[in-house]
């Protein structure tokens, strides 16, 4: 088991890089904009450029994890982060900075799908939720550290350091992965059964390793190495992955993560410093609640957490809308809105945050796992981009209250979707989950 902790810890540095690099620019941009004299359009392109990189990487990573394997793909991801961060730190023109951020985005997109996939395939079934979701803990830790680094360097306007510090975790990921094993499932699917056997027996107790080896080998005998994606058996898991991917974003999480200071200022909080501190508070709540969620994810199960969390998100979004609708700008409005945001973030952190990434690493048959995760990840980043570029426009045209009500209505849709369609995967072996779809397709 100790080995499993080590594996999750190192691989999830990829999650840390995902979180850090998505949040760090929010502080750095304040100094980059005046230094390069950026127009609003140029600023928007710079801020969203990483999302384009992430979308492209999500498409390519499906092939990458199949062809290179999970381990080499993570080493490559560390190297991409390294190159991107160095380029950003030394960029002398806005164009170079944008290219640097697109490269960092490639790393983010690749890490977002490869880390959960890798950890999931190496974890014991009874603790898989804990280990895979450790990645989400590291994403939220990365976001917190980025806010902190932004605060530390803000006084000296040292934006190059803010962006450049990302090289440290990138090196840890790249080098650390050299010492970790390849996924036994990928090895067996490529015919390296002996190697996979050794890894399984070094990771699990004798009994579990024997069952896993037998099940994975049988599974790869009856299924082709790389099967077609759009089949009757795959229809349901594909639908679940793609819809949850979109729901995770279109229920508004990143309007808070990317625009929290702007939202706080809408409530009448005038000082930048208070807005930044309030934002840091949101980051800490996100981190702490994720940490709590992963302790119970394998005991309570994925479904109860999703249903409770999405209900909490819906209610807090609805109240946020009411507060903006009925409240005049005042200190008490700031408090009510802060409370709504805290409940919203806490609810996301125990549900859609970790559980979306966990489920897409669990629900797909091995023969299409790479491609299917790639599709879900692509949907997630595309939805992320759509929300990021429409939020301020929605606020302008619909108004603040209606914008948050819109997210609340979408959250109700998400709750119903989970209630009717998402199965419980707690404690099941990946091959057992695979059989579940085969059975239901035969009905
Ligand atoms: C989401 C990100 C989000 C982060 C916040 C992740 O699971 O995919 O879009 O920024 O959680 O904690």
DSSP letter at 223 equals S
Residues 116-137 have a mean pLDDT of: 96
By the 8 A CB rule, do 377 and 241 touch?
no
Query: Roughly what angle, to the nearest 10 degrees, separates helices 25-36 and 94-122?
Result: 170
CB atoms within 10 A of CB 347: 25
Q: Which atom of ligand 1 is nearest to the CA of 140?
A: 12
Residues 132-150 have a mean pLDDT of: 95
Q: Which of 36, 194, 51, 127 is nearest to 119 (CA)?
A: 127
The CA distance from 227 to 224, in Å, is: 6
To the nearest whole number, what is the mean pLDDT of the chain? Answer: 93
Q: What is the pTM (predicted TM-score) of this model?
A: 0.94
pLDDT of 227 reads 80
Cβ of 387 closer than 6 Å to ligand 1, yes or no, is no
Pocket test for ligand 1, best of 139, 260, 361, 381 (most atoms within 8 A of CB): 139
By the 8 A CB rule, do 138 and 8 touch?
no
Query: Roughly what angle, to the nearest 10 degrees, separates helices 128-154 and 13-23?
Result: 40
Q: Which two tokens stand for residue 132?
A: 């895979």
Share of the chain above pLDDT 70, in %: 97
Q: Which of 351, 129, 359 is nearest to 238 (CA)?
A: 359
Map tokens 């309030």 to a residue.
278
Q: Which two tokens stand for residue 306?
A: 């999703």
Q: What is the largest CA-CA distance in the chain?
A: 68
Map tokens 């005991």 to a residue.
299
pLDDT of 225 reads 64
Cβ of 94 closer than 6 Å to ligand 1, yes or no, is no
- The tens digit of pLDDT for each residue in 286-298 reads 999 999 999 999 9
Q: Which of 354, 378, 380, 376 is nearest to 364 (CA)?
A: 376
- The tens digit of pLDDT for each residue in 398-426 reads 999 999 999 999 999 999 999 999 999 99
The CA distance from 109 to 106, in Å, is: 5
Examine the pLDDT at 127 and tell me if it is beyond 80. yes
Cβ of 219 closer than 6 Å to ligand 1, yes or no, is no
Q: Which two tokens stand for residue 23?
A: 């949040």
The CA distance from 237 to 429, in Å, is: 16
The CA distance from 99 to 162, in Å, is: 17
Alpha carbon of 28 to ligand 1 centroid (Å): 20
Q: Where are the beta strands (DSSP E) in 155-253?
A: none
Residues belonging to the chain = 443
Residues 178-201 have a mean pLDDT of: 95
């Amino acid at each position: 088991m100790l080995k499993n902790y080590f594996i999750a810890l190192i691989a999830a540095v990829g999650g840390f890089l995902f979180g850090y690099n998505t949040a760090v620019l929010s502080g750095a941009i304040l100094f980059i904009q005046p230094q390069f004299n950026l127009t609003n359009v140029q600023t928007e392109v710079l801020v969203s450029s990483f999302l384009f990189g992430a979308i492209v990487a999500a498409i390519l990573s499906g092939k990458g994890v199949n062809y290179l394997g999970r381990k080499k793909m993570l080493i490559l991801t560390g190297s991409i982060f390294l190159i991107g961060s160095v380029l950003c730190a030394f960029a002398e023109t806005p164009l170079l900075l944008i290219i640097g951020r697109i490269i960092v985005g490639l790393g983010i997109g690749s890490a977002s799908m490869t880390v959960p996939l890798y950890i999931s395939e190496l974890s014991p079934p009874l603790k898989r939720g804990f280990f895979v979701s450790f990645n989400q803990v590291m994403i939220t830790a990365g976001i917190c550290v980025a806010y902190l680094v932004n605060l530390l360097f803000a006084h000296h306007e040292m934006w190059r350091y803010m962006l450049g510090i990302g090289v440290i975790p990138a090196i840890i990921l790249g080098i650390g992965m050299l010492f970790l094993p390849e996924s036994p499932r990928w090895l067996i699917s490529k015919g390296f059964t002996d190697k996979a056997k050794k890894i399984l027996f070094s990771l699990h107790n004798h009994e579990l390793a024997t069952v896993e080896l037998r099940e994975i080998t049988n599974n790869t005998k009856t299924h082709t190495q790389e099967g077609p994606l759009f089949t009757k058996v795959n229809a349901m898991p594909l639908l679940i992955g793609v819809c949850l991917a979109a729901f995770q974003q279109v229920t508004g999480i990143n309007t808070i993560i990317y625009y929290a200071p702007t939202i706080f200022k809408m409530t009448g909080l005038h000082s930048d410093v208070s807005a930044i501190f309030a934002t840091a508070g949101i980051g800490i709540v996100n981190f702490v609640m994720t940490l709590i969620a992963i302790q119970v994810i394998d005991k309570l199960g994925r479904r109860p957490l999703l249903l409770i969390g999405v209900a909490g998100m819906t209610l807090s979004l609805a109240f946020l809308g009411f507060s903006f609708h009925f409240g005049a700008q005042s200190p008490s409005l700031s408090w009510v809105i802060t409370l709504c945001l805290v409940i919203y973030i806490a609810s996301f952190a125990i549900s859609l945050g970790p559980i979306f990434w966990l489920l897409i690493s669990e629900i797909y048959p091995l023969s299409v796992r790479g491609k299917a995760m790639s599709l879900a990840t692509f949907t997630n980043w595309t939805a992320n981009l759509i929300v990021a570029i429409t939020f301020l426009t929605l606020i302008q045209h619909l108004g603040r209250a209606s914008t948050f009500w819109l997210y609340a209505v979408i959250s109700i849709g998400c709750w119903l979707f989970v209630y009717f369609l998402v199965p419980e995967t707690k404690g099941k072996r990946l091959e057992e989950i695979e059989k579940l779809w085969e059975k239901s397709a035969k009905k």
